[in-house]
Amino acid sequence: MTSQNIYILAIESSCDDTAAAVMLNGKILSNIVASQKIHEAYGGVVPELASRAHQQNIVPVVDQALKKAGIDKSQLSAIAFTRGPGLMGSLLVGTSFAKSLAFGLDIPLIDVNHMQAHILAHFIEETDFKKPPFPFLAMTISGGHTQIVRVDSYFKMVVIGETIDDAVGEAFDKSGKLLGLGYPAGPEIDRRAKLGNPKAFAFTKPKVGGLNFSFSGFKTAVLYFVQKQVKLNPNFIEENLNDICASIQYTIIGILIDKLKLATKQTDIKHIAIGGGVSANSGIRQALKDGEHKFGWTTYVPKFEYTTDNAAMIAIVGYLKFLEGDYAAQNVMASSRLKI
Ligand code: KG4
Ligand code: ZN
C-alpha cells in the first residue's frame, strides 16, 4: 500500500470509443466512455470518421472524468494513454492530447499497450471481483482482438495463440449482417440464441493448428449456407432466425472452448481470465462456468464496464507503471501494430 495519493488520468482512443478515467491508488473514481454511434450506419468502424469524432469528444470526455472524480487537474500525478495497437488516426488524437497535457502540467506521461490493459483490467480494485493469481491465461475476445496470453506477472506476458485473420467479434458481426441484423450484431445474436436450438444447423469448425484461431472461413461458411437455404426457401432466414443465431453462437463457443482446453493442457495453467466485448456473451460465460466442473479450471470475469474498450483499464496499467517509475519520453509515438 502506498501512503501517497496517486491520481492517474487515463485516456483511451484506439478504436471507436473516446474514453477517460481517473484512478486513485488503484480504485476508479470516474470512467467515462463516449461511444461513436456514427459507425452503425456503415455496418463497421470507418477510421477517418472515428478520428474526427475523437477530436470532438476528447476535451468534454476528459473534463467529465475530472469533474466526476471531483478533482482538479493540478492534483494529477501522471497521464496514461493508449499507445497502440489500434487505428492510427484514432491513436494519434489520444497520444497528442496526453502528451500536451502532461507537458503542460509537468507530470509524467505513461504509455500503455491496449492489449495488456484488457488483461490488467482484472487488477482494478473492486470489492466483489476476485483477481486471478499468477500465472494465468487471459483470453481477450472483441471486435478487434482474439488472443490467448500466458500472464506470468503484471508485465511479463506471452501471446500463445491469436487469430490469423478476423477477430471473433467480427465473426458475430459479419454473420449477423448476412442475416440482416444491425451493427454490432453480437448482442442480438446472443439474445436470439437463447430462444433457438443450438444444434439446428451444423457449421464446420476451422482447422487451424495449435492455439491460433481463424474466423474468415467460418463467415464464408455461414454465407454459403444462407445463400443455399434462401434459394430453396426465400423466407428461410425469417422462419429460422433464432435457430441460426443459436447454431452460429454454439459453433463459435465450441471453437473458443476447444482452444482453451488445449491451452490449459499445454501450459498446465488452470486459471482463465477473459476480457473484451465478446466476453459479455451469455453463452460463452456459461460455457466457461461449466468448464469449472468439467475441466477443473477457474474463470475470472471483470466488471462489465471494464471488459469493453474503456479508460479504467488504461488507468490501472498507468498506475502499476507509475509505481515502477516506468514513464514514456515526450517523443513517444503512437504505434498501430504495437505488440504485447
Ligand atoms: O471490446 P469491444 O466493445 O470493442 C472492440 O471491438 O474493441 O467489443 C465489441 C465487440 C463487437 O464485435 C460486438 O458484437 C461484440 O463485442 N459483443 C458481443 C456481445 N456484446 C458485444 N458478441 C457476442 N455476444 C454479446 N453479448
Ligand atoms: Zn479493445
| Ordered alpha helix ranges (H), the chain | 47-69, 88-105, 114-120, 168-178, 186-193, 216-232, 236-267, 282-294, 312-324
Instruction: For 113, list phi and psi in degrees, rounded to 5.
Output: -85, 120
Question: What is the domain partition of the chain in residue ranges?
Answer: 7-122+307-324, 131-301
Q: What pLDDT does 111 receive?
A: 98
Q: Which single residue is written with the C-alpha cell 506521461?
A: 109
- Tell me the mean pLDDT in the region 65-76: 98
Q: Across the strands, what pairs with 140?
A: 147, 275
CA angle 23, 25, 30 (to 5 degrees): 20
Each residue of 85-121: b (16+ CB within 10 Å) or e?
A: bbbbbbbbbbbebbbebbeebebbbbbbbbbbbbbbb
What residue's CA is closest to ligand 1, atom 6? 143
What residue's CA is closest to ligand 1, atom 24? 281
Which residues approach ligand 1 with their CB closer than 6 A? 15, 142-144, 169, 172-173, 184-187, 190, 276-278, 280-281, 308-309
Contact between 276 and 118 (Cβ < 8 Å)? yes
| Pocket-testing residue among 139, 278, 304, ligand 1, by greatest number of atoms within 8 A of Cβ | 278
Is 326 exposed, middle or buried (CB count within 10 Å of its CB: 0-12, 13-18, 19+)?
middle
Q: What pLDDT does 334 receive?
A: 97
- What atom of ligand 1 comes closest to residue 169's alpha carbon? 12
- Tell me the mean pLDDT in the region 20-28: 98
Distance from Cα 115 to the centre of ligand 1, integer Å: 15
Contact between 302 and 123 (Cβ < 8 Å)? no
Q: What pLDDT does 37 receive?
A: 83
Q: What pLDDT does 38 receive?
A: 83
> Whole-angstrom Cα distance, residue 161 to residue 138?
10
- Sorted by sequence, the CB contacts under 8 Å of residue 55 that are 6+ apart come out as 93
Q: How far is CA 43 from CA 146, 174, 184, in A?
A: 20, 9, 7
Kindly report the three-state secondary structure assignment for every residue of 75-94. Answer: HCCEEEEEEECCCHHHHHHH
Question: Which pLDDT tens digit goes with each residue over 33-65?
Answer: 998 888 888 878 889 898 899 999 999 999 999
Q: What pLDDT does 48 receive?
A: 86
Distance from Cα 291 to the centre of ligand 2, integer Å: 25
pTM of the predicted protein model:
0.94
Distance from Cα 215 to the centre of ligand 1, integer Å: 15
What residue's CA is closest to ligand 1, atom 20? 187
Distance from Cα 250 to the centre of ligand 2, integer Å: 23
> Whole-angstrom Cα distance, residue 128 to residue 285?
17
What architecture is the 131-301 domain classified under in CATH?
2-Layer Sandwich (3.30)
N-terminal to C-terminal alpha carbon distance within the chain: 27
Grid cell for residue 135: 500465472
Question: Which pLDDT tens digit goes with each residue over 285-300?
Answer: 999 999 999 999 999 9
> Whole-angstrom Cα distance, residue 209 to residue 214?
10
Percent of the chain with pLDDT over 90: 90
pLDDT score of 274 more than 60? yes
The secondary structure element, H or E, covering residue 147 is strand 146-153
pLDDT score of 256 more than 70? yes
CATH superfamily, with its number, for domain 7-122+307-324: ATPase, nucleotide binding domain (3.30.420.40)
Is 75 exposed, middle or buried (CB count within 10 Å of its CB: 0-12, 13-18, 19+)?
middle
The secondary structure element, H or E, covering residue 300 is strand 298-300
Question: Which pLDDT tens digit goes with each residue over 192-208?
Answer: 999 999 999 999 889 89
Q: What value does the mean pLDDT of the chain take?
A: 96
Q: What pLDDT does 135 receive?
A: 98
- Sorted by sequence, the CB contacts under 8 Å of residue 144 that are 6+ apart come out as 15, 86, 167, 169
Q: What pLDDT does 220 receive?
A: 94
Q: Across the strands, what pairs with 10?
A: 21, 80
Distance from Cα 180 to the centre of ligand 2, integer Å: 25
- Tell me the pLDDT band of 16, cut-offs 50, 70 and 90: confident
